[in-house]
Amino acid sequence: MDKSFKLLDVEDIDARPAATTLYQAIEEKGRFMGRTNILYSIVLVGKVSPHVADRREVAAYFEGLLMQFKPPDQITGLLLIYPYHVVNIIETSFRTMMRILRALNESERIINCYIAHYTDILNKDLPEDEEPRRFTCFDEATIEEIAERPTLAPLIHNRILFVKDNLVHRIYRTYEMLPFDMEPVSLNQYDSSESDEKRFLETLSQLIRLGVFLSEEPMKGQEEYVPEIFKILCLSPFVETGRIQTF
């Protein structure tokens, strides 16, 4: 595969200044207020990357992150690994949080390069009267090539749902990783007349309830966890629609 490819330039049709993302706002705030040691809590959602053949790779990646950071920069929180996406709650210092976000950002940029290049190959010599072929998955050769870059994060379409700074104490004692094999909640269960803001707040409410529950209860088996919460979080409409722009 030709490795000399770059991200395609995207023309701003409306010719309007790009909106400041939550990621950029956090970075600027921390840079100018000297918040490197402030304790943060951040909620992320993201899709499992198409180059990931086994969801255990997701857990392995974050296990590697845990070993990189020591007190007071250690990571606590919860990683829920579903068949197609993850919900990630991280408590850590500002400097550690930014290192994680930058790593996710750079990994997604590189993976998107592979996706764009692979899509170009799929549509090479395609007759003009045919619909362009959409990317669905990589072939084995491309997956093996990406696997040679073990520092790449196994996630794409990362979205920041919520950030809270200046925490007095951590909610989570450790960083737990829980894989789930369950059917996602159908989008039909969401009222289409509800605003994105309302659904967003409901999702955050479920996450807060989950955090409080886990902080008060010993870790149990999958079926003993408040299953209705996990099933609700199994389908994040914000990951599917991409309405929350961050990176």
Q: Give residue limits of the domains in the chain.
A: 22-109+155-241
Per-residue tens of pLDDT for the chain, all 247 residues: 444 333 333 334 344 455 566 666 666 655 545 556 789 999 999 999 999 988 899 999 999 988 999 888 999 999 999 888 999 999 999 989 999 999 999 999 999 999 999 999 889 888 888 888 889 899 898 898 898 888 899 999 999 988 888 888 888 888 989 888 876 666 666 666 777 788 778 878 887 777 777 766 655 544 454 555 555 555 444 444 444 333 3
Of 32, 51, 61, 160, nearest in space to 101 by CA? 160
CATH annotation of 22-109+155-241: 3.30.70.100
**Is 118 in contact with 135 (CB distance < 8 Å)?**
yes
Which tokens in the block code for residue 228? 């209705």
Of 19, 35, 8, 49, nearest in space to 93 by CA? 35
Which tokens in the block code for residue 210? 């989950």
How many whole angstroms separate alpha carbon 109 and alpha carbon 76?
26
How many whole angstroms separate alpha carbon 97 and alpha carbon 78?
14
Q: Give whole-number Cα distances, 67 to 60, 156, 229, in Å.
A: 11, 22, 29
